[in-house]
Structure 1
């Protein structure tokens, strides 16, 4: 492996590890479903990140600054989506494990939620397309491909590790404790939604 690959891997991990909607979703699904069922969320989230990274590598980051109103639309959509997810988490109730799993194991629903949290999340788009796109462009021509592969590998590695860690904890946490985790997650998601709304207002 080249130095540029590991540089991209480290850079990607540095951007993806801080708490965000994607991490909360992957962790909660790993906690609720365990492995290997949480792999649906890992697969969908990592695939979305891969698409965004490739878009940034191909120069789509220029759209974020050149298309009028695009960032405002992303912020508004993100605020609405995260408010919905946050309120849903805040309203979580204690449910027996079998019933909880039956309610969320539909792959289509799991994938839809993961895609929404990735592609309608303005910070994920700005970080992945904007910041990573600029970082890729700053690499030498010879190192861009391997740097890009490193950043993509970071997403897959991190989401897989996060889901696996949550799955390892699921037998330790009782249903009541999981509800409190959901509620804390809801507060965080609503906080992100509020920050997006504030940024949206400041743009006008």
Structure 2
């Protein structure tokens, strides 16, 4: 029971802040016509988090991040990708002005963006590796399995819930004004994260 509660509380603590990954999933929930249309983004983000959690728990990722040059590459790639993503959301928001209320990406693009914001976001990686990894060292055997599954479960439930809340906003916002404003805010949050990463690199 301790391992279960520890995993749930820890995972919620890491996933609750308004990061790039959360912004993107919420955005797709809000702008897609049906929640099922946002499934590629939801499932991809959840799978990526699952992989990162498993790497953190097994200690593989901690070994990799001991190499400073690998961390620098992750940060540099993350910086340029997040700058591009913010621009892409703003551009799509304006180009769809007359035909839709938001940036509803097709399935392939959702998968690509969701995987990128999960795997190219240095802070998401370091949060999972640097927090879940060390915390998992307190457990072995069945307790470690329970702890790991609790973290993964929270991740999957969170992304589905986030997209559903976004879809509810999309239904309430019949004029599309709130969603468009959210898209603009999303772009600037993403750029803010990119700039923060850039400062750390340079």
Cα distance, 1:133 vs structure 2: 1.1
The residue aligned with 1:178 is 179
TM-score by length of 2: 0.90
Correspondence for 1:97: 100
Instruction: Decide whether aligned partners of structure 1 residues 188 and 182 sit closer, same or farther in structure 2, where only a CA change above 3 A counts.
Output: same
Aligned to 2:24: 25
C-alpha change, 1:196 and 1:127, in structure 2 (3 Å) is same
Unaligned 5+ segments in structure 1 are none
> 1:197 and 2:198 equivalent?
yes
Alignment map for 1:32-43 (pairs within 5 Å) = 32-33=31-32, 34-43=34-43
SS in 2 for 1:178: helix
> How far apart are residue 3 of structure 1 and its match?
3.0
Structure 2 CA distance for partners of 1:123 and 1:29, relative to 1, 3 Å: same
Q: Residue 166 of structure 1 aligns to a residue in which SS?
A: helix
Q: In the alignment, is the contact (CA less than 8 A) between 2:28 and 2:103 conserved in 1? A: no
Give the Å deviation of 1:65. 4.2
Cα deviation for residue 68 of structure 1 reads 2.8
Which residue number in structure 1 is paired with residue 51 of structure 2?
51
SS at match of 1:30: helix
> Are the counterparts in 2 of residues 61 and 134 from structure 1 also a CA contact under 8 Å?
no
**What per-residue deviation string (whole Å, max 9, x for no partner) do you get for residues 89-138 of structure 1?**
2332224239965xx2x322211111011111101111112221111123
Counterpart CA distance in 1 for 2:23 and 2:102 is 21
Alpha-carbon deviation of 1:176? Answer: 3.1
Rounded Cα–Cα distance in structure 1 between residues aligned with 2:183 and 2:28: 11
Distance 2:78 2:184 in 1: 19
When residues 95 and 148 of structure 1 are mapped into structure 2, their CA distance, relative to the original with a 3 A threshold, is farther
Task: State the partner residue of 2:88.
Answer: 88
**Alignment size in residue pairs:** 197
SS of 1:171's equivalent in the other structure is helix
What CA RMSD, in Å, does the superposition of the two structures yield over aligned residues?
1.8
Cα distance in 1 for residues equivalent to 2:66 and 2:31: 41
CA distance in 2 between counterparts of 1:193 and 1:127 reads: 16
Aligned-residue offset at 1:32: 0.7
Measure how far apart 1:5 and its partner are: 1.5
User: 2:18 & 2:101 partners in 1: Cα distance?
Assistant: 28
Are the equivalent residues in 2 in contact too, given 1:30–1:167 (CA < 8 A)? yes
Q: How does 1:9-24 map to 2 (within 5 A)?
A: 9-24=8-23
Deviating above 6 A after TM superposition, structure 1's stretches of 4 or more consecutive aligned residues are none
Aligned to 2:63: 63
